[in-house]
Amino acid sequence: MNVTVFGLSLAELLVLAAAVVLVLARWLPSGARRPSTLAGGAVLAVTGIVLAVLGIRWQLLLVLAGGGIVLVFAVPSLLRWRPARRARWWLALPGSAACLALMLAGAAAAWALPLPVFPEPSGAYAVGTTVVQWSDPDRPEIATPRADDVRTVVVQLWYPAQNGPRAAQRAWYLGRTAQEAQLVARGEADYLGLPRFVLDEPPRARTHSVPDAPVAGGGDRFPLVLFSPGLGGVRTQNTAWAEELASRGYVVAALDHPYDSALVTLADGRTIRTRVAATGDQAEDNRRAAGWTAVRAADLGFVLTQLVRLDRGEIPGPLTGRLDTRRAAATGHSLGGAAALQAARQDPRFAAVIDLDGFPRDPAPRPFHQPVLALTHDVEPGEEPDYIPRLTQVLQLSTATGYRLTVPGTAHLTFTDAPLFLPPLPALTGSLGRTAGPHITAEATAAFLDAALRGEPGDLTAALSGYGHLTVL
């Protein structure tokens, strides 16, 4: 079902219009009441059946309920040839107002929580995606008591692909299957303490990637972009960004971190759920955050090692011989951004770093040699007073040029897919609208990666300055 206007499909708009007509018909001149009621009732019935077949959203149940209540009172008069005596206006008005409010509440909920529609990637390549799982025999899993349990990560790859048939089935947004997508959405809702219906729409969405599509021809080697999500985040949380980069010739590898990501489904069918809560002790919370960051940084280094092996053919896969592992960037959002900074400091194989609004958590930051781009939300005066100074201090440790870009009108989740499907509240997803945040994130980071990994000429400072307030370090 394609979303068109205000988060509503054509069928949903027709349901809403028909339900509103039914309410207003009671207040029309006598000659217009009957035909308006008949037309509204017919359209409501037909479009209601269409939605039931296609899959109805819970928000539209409110609209249908309001229209159904009106029909209950309208049907008796429709069955009479002579005009029925109507209830007095002062009795009918509250009922009409209540039904109209119910319908508008459903429409508002559909607008605030729409089915996400992903931007069409703008690059020259189609996009393929695949999911792999790798275990590190050299690292025990510290989150479990089992002595034989080793660290395992789930990685989703987005890569340049051959153009396939337009009818090719696109990947689900949150999982390999519809069932996994539903599980992840429920796990995220539980992790955030939200009612599950708030995240009903994302698992129904399809992206622009084709699962296991053939890799693009030509023999080119593609630079790598490794991505760590935020605390409790999942590997797919920046899919719009990953698809855009893949369409421009990058391979993006996003990680699920078990016992940190809200929900991870392993190859053997096990589901690992995680719920992290603040302890109330700032020192203890900082200690835990530093521990999670260290594990994530090690995960990023391990995945880079696996990608090197994949390119060499030591691990079977379609990307063998197609990865430029000497040009790899460590990136992440929030806690994942902190992990990217730490991974780069620990692992010189990373040639660049992108921190998407992440507070540095390395307890012993030391000089490192990669260029860094840090995107930050529009920090209000008095908000997070330690954030920008700490970030600046860490960026200045790099012996290469660092860029701190503050984007006006953004919030912490602006740099993820969240604006595509969460309510457009400035404190939650910023004030840039549904698509501007993901667009700016993709364009600014692509400009940085083109310069840092590909050495493309151009004025990077001027390019980044167009998106906000830039500080060059």
416-433 pLDDT, tens per residue? Answer: 999 999 999 999 999 999
Domain boundaries, position 279: 126-472
The token pair at 363 is 């307890």
Instruction: Please state, in angstroms and rounded to a whole number, the distance separating the CA atoms of residues 211 and 129.
Output: 5
Domain contains 121: no
For the stretch 314-372, pLDDT in tens is: 999 999 999 999 999 999 999 999 999 999 999 999 999 999 999 999 988 999 999 99
Same domain, 101 and 146: no
For the stretch 219-237, pLDDT in tens is: 899 999 999 999 999 999 9
Domain contains 118: no
Same domain, 159 and 79: no
Same domain, 93 and 159: no
Domain contains 117: no
Same domain, 87 and 135: no
Whether residue 380 contacts residue 395, with contact meaning beta carbons closer than 8 Å, is answered with no
**For residue 87, pLDDT beyond 80:** no
Instruction: Please state, in angstroms and rounded to a whole number, the distance separating the CA atoms of residues 323 and 394.
Output: 30
Domain contains 149: yes
Same domain, 206 and 326: yes
Domain contains 2: no
Question: Which of 251, 163, 247, 170 is CA-nearest to residue 207?
Answer: 170
> Is the sign of the CA dihedral 448, 392, 255, 303 positive or negative?
positive
Same domain, 97 and 47: yes
pLDDT at 276: 78
Residue 28's alpha-carbon distances to 96, 103, 152, 275, 337, in angstroms, are 13, 19, 66, 55, 59
- Of the three residues 88, 112, 136, the one that is the final residue of a domain is 112
Same domain, 45 and 162: no
Same domain, 406 and 340: yes
Same domain, 250 and 289: yes
Domain contains 3: no
Same domain, 292 and 364: yes
- Of the three residues 54, 88, 112, the one that is the final residue of a domain is 112
The owner of tokens 């007095």 is 88
Whether residue 376 contacts residue 406, with contact meaning beta carbons closer than 8 Å, is answered with yes
pLDDT at 77: 64
Rounded to two decimals, what is the model's pTM? 0.92
Indicate the SS3 state at residue 196: helix
At residue 325, what is the residue type? T
Top-confidence residue, 80 or 345: 345
Instruction: Please state, in angstroms and rounded to a whole number, the distance separating the CA atoms of residues 248 and 472.
Output: 26
pLDDT at 375: 98
Residue 415 DSSP symbol: G
Q: 230: domain CATH number?
A: 3.40.50.1820
Average pLDDT for the chain: 91
Instruction: Please state, in angstroms and rounded to a whole number, the distance separating the CA atoms of residues 347 and 343.
Output: 6
Whether residue 239 contacts residue 218, with contact meaning beta carbons closer than 8 Å, is answered with no
pLDDT at 297: 97
For the stretch 20-54, pLDDT in tens is: 888 888 788 877 878 888 888 888 889 888 888 88
Per-residue pLDDT band for 6 (boundaries 50, 70, 90) equals confident
Indicate the SS3 state at residue 434: helix
Domain contains 119: no
Residues 6 or more apart whose CB falls under 8 angstroms from that of 138 comprise 150
Question: Which of 224, 229, 231 is CA-nearest to residue 253?
Answer: 224
For the stretch 139-185, pLDDT in tens is: 999 988 888 899 999 999 999 999 988 768 999 999 999 999 999 99
Same domain, 132 and 100: no
- Of the three residues 49, 81, 112, the one that is the final residue of a domain is 112
In terms of DSSP bridges, do strands 126-140 and 251-256 run parallel, antiparallel, or are they unpaired?
unpaired
Domain contains 5: no
Whether residue 238 contacts residue 229, with contact meaning beta carbons closer than 8 Å, is answered with yes
Same domain, 86 and 142: no
Residues 6 or more apart whose CB falls under 8 angstroms from that of 346 comprise 297, 301
Question: Which of 256, 199, 212, 264 is CA-nearest to residue 230?
Answer: 256
Number of domains observed in the structure of the chain: 2
